[in-house]
Structure 1
Amino acid sequence: MHKIAKSVSLLFAFFLLSSSVMAIELKVGWINIERIFREAAPAQAATKKLEKEFDKRQVELQKMGKQIQERQAELDKNGMTMSEGERAHKERDLANLNRDFQRMQREFREDLNTRRNEEFASIQERANKAIKEIATTENYDLILTDAIYAGPRIDITDKVIRIIDSGSSSGGK
């Protein structure tokens, strides 16, 4: 009998708790940060700025990569007919060029990532201000930026992009 009473009281407590939880309505929104970084006007401008800033170095790296391929092809083709000393010299030059190329590639990636992080930090800040503005004015209880699934009904990414593009959340930026 004691077990039945305990089960009934637990069931009753569950119904009370679930009915009070159902009475609370949460307004939830979801933001797709990747879309903001891809589609917002300041993000597109930052991407173009970075492309322009790093274009010359990228072209240099492409030329150097092509030069390495050409030297490797020449060594593969003519290596057997070269003297031992000449072949060793060309292999050493190719190895040095390859090492320099890898170093330059690594520095390029590091510099690009640093600049990208700098540029997109301000966009992230503007997005956060826009999200807070939307949350305050539209009475959201929760806005998420990471979810396994979010339906289109709670997706407010377009609103954030519009605010960022208009500049109203940037303090005049």
Structure 2
Amino acid sequence: MIVLLNLGFTITSTSQAADKIAIVDISSIFQQLPQRETVAKKLEDEFKKRATELQSMERDLKIKMQQLQLNGSNMEPDARISLEKSLIAQRDNLSTKAHAFEQDNRRRQTEERDKILNCIQEAVRIVATKKNYDIVINANAIAYANNAKDITNDVLKQVK
């Protein structure tokens, strides 16, 4: 009898706990946010000048390398060596600037993505508090949830 009573309490507490757990699809919310497009445009504008400069440097380097290939055999040895050294320095400079550009671009994208994710996280907290959920799990982190309370649409409304 005591075993059945304990089993009854366990089942009751498990079902009550399930009522206080919700899931949310954060990646879906992230993809649907209009702020994401605004941020992408902002970053594009922020890095446009540097990207254009790098493209110009790359075109210039390619042209000079083609000229060296075409005219190199007709050049004086000293002039050819000087041009080759200049091209190597120019290529190294381009490589350095391209690497810095990539790092800066990646850093800024991460910063902006983190800002959006923080807004989503705050919206999850607000919705969970309003609806009295104790636990909210990212839908992408679970393999299966039967009858789970999905608060994705509520969070999306809160974020927008």
TM-score, length-scaled by structure 1:
0.69
Q: Is the 8 A contact 2:22 2:149 kept in 1?
A: yes
Q: 1:23 aligns with which of 15, 19, 27?
A: 15
Q: 1:147 and 2:141 equivalent? A: yes
> How far apart are the structure 2 equivalents of 1:32 and 1:150?
16
Q: Which residue of 1 aligns with 2:94?
A: 101
Q: Which residue of 2 aligns with 1:65?
A: 58
Amino acid at match of 2:109: R
Amino acid at match of 2:102: R
Describe the shift of the 1:115–1:90 C-alpha distance in structure 2 as closer, same or farther (beyond 3 A). Answer: same
Q: Is the 8 A contact 1:29 1:140 kept in 2?
A: no
Q: Which residue of 2 aligns with 1:118?
A: 111
Q: 1:135 and 2:133 equivalent? A: no
Aligned residue pairs, count: 151
In the TM superposition, what is the alpha-carbon distance from 1:85 to its structure 2 partner? 1.6
Q: Which residue of 1 aligns with 2:154?
A: 159
In the TM superposition, what is the alpha-carbon distance from 1:81 to its structure 2 partner? 2.7
Higher relative contact order (CA 8 A, sep 6+): 2
Q: Which moved more, 1:155-164 or 1:55-64?
A: 155-164
2:75 match: secondary structure:
coil
> How far apart are the structure 1 equivalents of 2:41 and 2:73?
48
> How far apart are the structure 1 equivalents of 2:66 and 2:142?
48
Describe the shift of the 1:149–1:104 C-alpha distance in structure 2 as closer, same or farther (beyond 3 A). Answer: farther
Return 5+ residue gaps in structure 1 as ranges. Answer: 1-11, 166-173
Amino-acid identity (%): 26
Across the aligned residues of Structure 1 and Structure 2, the Cα RMSD in angstroms comes to 3.0
Q: Which residue of 2 aligns with 1:75?
A: 68
Describe the shift of the 1:98–1:154 C-alpha distance in structure 2 as closer, same or farther (beyond 3 A). Answer: farther
